[in-house]
Amino acid sequence: MEATVRLPAREGYAVWADTYPPRPHNRLMAVEQEIVEPIIRSAAPKRALDVGTGTGRYLGLMRSAGAALVVGVDLSMPMLQHRQCSTPRVCGDACRLPFADGQFDLVCASLMVGDVADLGPWIREATRVLARGGHLVYSDFHPSWTSQQWRRTFRAANGRQFELTYFPHSIDDHLQRLEEATLAIRAIREPRIAGRATPVVAVFHATRR
């Protein structure tokens, strides 16, 4: 049996890009979107940013929620070049966003912060580009992943299995960083999926005061 190859996030996404679909493709992503989509629609954004957009899963949803300006940003050029997404996107770092202050009234990030070692710079940047009253909604792999020893694995086009590394973050760490950025925390959701006794993802919703 061929061993699973462990890769850091940027290298892993480059390998995964060819087969990564622009839709929820596992139960974790489906339950995450069930929580995030109503928040986006209720926010009714006009200018929306998707950080860690990958193949653009949330871009169409933002447009259907009423956003006239929709922008995606991702650090992985192979993911941005994915043939199934026609929306223009920008290559950039979530911790150094290439946008002006207060440019968006919604910033979204789906399961991106597991690729970030320190939540502080990411949340400060998300806050900086938010307009006053704007919404930040993002998700992370639940801290229970560490205790359950779950892994992020995928199969490449050639059938070989890979594992992506990620940085675990506690709920308290998220709360501390959100409070330091003077964001008003609106909700924290910790959904489960069938067959799992513990939550699999954490979703955070906050607004800029």
Half-sphere CA count of 204, side-chain side, radius 13 A: 30
pLDDT at residue 186 is higher than 90: yes
Segment 95-127, tens digit of pLDDT: 999 999 999 999 999 999 999 999 999 999 999
pLDDT the model gives residue 21 = 83
**Residue 196 to residue 150: CA distance in whole angstroms:** 11
Is domain 5-208 annotated with CATH 3.40.50.150? yes
For the chain, which residues make up each domain, given as ranges?
5-208
**Residue 9 to residue 11: CA distance in whole angstroms:** 6
- Range name among 15-29, 52-66, 159-173, 177-191 with the lowest pLDDT average: 15-29
Q: Are 30 and 89 in contact (CB under 8 A)?
A: no
Q: Are 86 and 64 in contact (CB under 8 A)?
A: no
Query: Two tokens at 140?
Result: 């992370």
pLDDT the model gives residue 130 = 98
- Mean pLDDT over 40-62 rounds to 95
pLDDT at residue 71 is higher than 70: yes
pLDDT at residue 87 is higher than 80: no
Coil, strand or helix at 27: helix
pLDDT the model gives residue 146 = 78
Q: Are 108 and 51 in contact (CB under 8 A)?
A: yes
Cβ burial, residue 109 (10 Å; 0-12/13-18/19+): buried
pLDDT the model gives residue 119 = 97
